[in-house]
Amino acid sequence: MSNPETLIAEAEKKCKKVTGFSSFFGASQESRYEEAADLYVQAANLYKLQKRHTQAGQSFEKAAQCQLKADSPDEAANTLVEAYKSFKNEVPIESARCLEQAIELFVRRGQFRRSANFKADLGELYENELNDINKAIASYEDASEWYKGDSATSLANKFALKTADLYCDESIQNFSKAATTYERIAKESLNNNLAKWSLKEYFLKAILCRLADNNDYASGNALLQRFLQWDPSFQTTREYEFAARLVDAVKDGSSDDIANASKEFDKFSRLDALKIKILNKIKTSVQEAPDQLEEDFT
């Protein structure tokens, strides 16, 4: 078995332009790039066997560059995906760069469903590995739009909801944008039997975000009434009772009422980390206090 360095050296020779008499009888430069790409791919696979993932990613990327020069954009896109996979665990920033290039090539070829899948992967990479929330949001939004264009409504909503959650992140805190997104998804889910069970969750999150947006209890109350018109059964839920109590508490400027309502709701329906963060924002906005909601729920 050849070692990867030998294959790379051969590939580099193939990439050198041949001119003059020797080029007349030799292979075309395009075919030489194809041969070089094959050698780089072989080297990359050997690096993978050796668990040298960064070197594998670099070799896959060089192979993709050769495939582009050989006018094979589809092959190049697929090879860049392999580079993304290889880089992912060791050099996530390089992984993201390669995947962005691959997505651009897929989009040019009109492969929007595949592009949406990889945009979702890119969003997760930015969110979980690179902690770049703005780029994660942008990636998820693209994925959502492309899924929507492909009539994949469930997937479109899934990633729209991810953007809404990230708009609530402490580094962003665009609660107005988050509320608008939750409200839109709720409205689109009214006649969807599979999604209707999630309505009360969307309703509650939208109202929480309105209250977190500069104590906007008027908008929170307006949403509460709108959601009752959309789904009268909402009034029978704990989420409705909780939201109504929070609206009144914010209107009265009472952080104690917010904490008490939150504790009571948490006894029956455990508050997740996102809701706790939003509730902390609401509570500290009406009255700065050192105690945190996490302590109230223990």
Quote the pLDDT of residue 17: 72
Task: Kindly give the residue spans of alpha helices, DSSP state H, lying in the chain.
Answer: 4-15, 21-25, 29-49, 53-69, 73-87, 92-108, 112-124, 133-149, 153-167, 175-188, 199-212, 217-230, 238-252, 255-268, 273-286, 293-296
State residue 18's pLDDT score.
Answer: 63
Eight-class DSSP state of 17: P
What's the pLDDT tens digit per position in 155-171?
Answer: 999 999 999 999 999 99
Q: What is the mean pLDDT of residues 262-284?
A: 96
Mean pLDDT of 135-143: 98
Using CA atoms, how far residue 152 sits from 48, 86, 113, 156, 173, in Å, is 35, 29, 9, 6, 29
Is the pLDDT confidence value at 298 over 70? Answer: no
Question: 236-273: string of b/e by CB count within 10 Å (b at 16+)?
Answer: ebebbebbbbbbbbbbeebbebbbebbeebbeeeebee
What pLDDT, in 10s, does the model give residues 184-213? Answer: 999 999 988 888 889 999 999 999 999 999
pLDDT of residue 27: 58
Residue holding tokens 């582009």?
A: 68
Q: Show the CA angle centred on residue 43, arms to residues 14 and 41, nearest 5°.
A: 75
Domain membership flag for residue 144? no
* Mean pLDDT of the region 11-40: 77
Angstrom distance (rounded) from CA 43 to CA 4: 4
Evaluate whether residue 24 is within a structural domain.
no
297 domain-assigned: yes
The residues near 35 (Cβ < 8 Å, ≥ 6 apart) are 11, 14, 27
Share above pLDDT 70 across residues of the chain, in percent, rounded to a whole number: 92
Cα 224 to Cα 244: distance, rounded to the nearest angstrom: 7
Please give the average per-residue pLDDT across 119-145, as a whole number.
Answer: 98
Can you give the pTM of this predicted structure? 0.89
Residue 297 has pLDDT above 90, yes or no: no
Domain for residue 284, yes or no? yes
Residue 288 has pLDDT above 60, yes or no: no
pLDDT on residue 19: 58
In a domain, residue 54? The reply is no
Q: Residue 45: pLDDT above 70?
A: yes
Give me the chain's average pLDDT, please. 92
CB 196 within 8 A of CB 189: yes
At which residue do the structure tokens 């896959």 appear? Answer: 60
| Contact between residue 133 and residue 172 where contact means Cβ atoms under 8 Å apart | yes
Per-residue pLDDT, 247: 97
Identity of residue 279: L
Rounded CA separation 179/211 (Å):
10
Cβ contacts of 182-191, under 8 Å, gap ≥ 24: 182/206, 182/209, 183/223, 184/160, 185/157, 185/160, 185/161, 186/227, 186/230, 187/230, 188/153, 188/157, 189/157, 190/230, 190/231
221 lies in a domain? yes
The range of the structural domain enclosing residue 213 comes to 207-298
In this model, does residue 180 exceed pLDDT 50? Answer: yes
What's the pLDDT score for residue 88?
95
- In degrees, rounded to 5, the angle at the alpha carbon of residue 97 between the alpha carbons of residues 95 and 102 is 95
Average of per-residue pLDDT across 166-187: 97
Q: Is residue 170 one of the residues assigned to a domain?
A: no
Query: How many domains, in total, are found in the chain?
Result: 1
pLDDT at position 24 over 50: no
Residue 178 in contact with residue 202, Cβ under 8 Å? no
Whether 21 shows a pLDDT value over 60: the answer reads no
Instruction: Establish how many alpha carbons lie within 13 A of residue 261's alpha carbon, considering only the half-sphere containing its beta carbon.
Output: 24
Predicted confidence at residue 193, as pLDDT, reads 84
| pLDDT value at 108 more than 70 | yes
Q: Say if 253 falls within a structural domain.
A: yes
For residue 290, what pLDDT is reported? 41
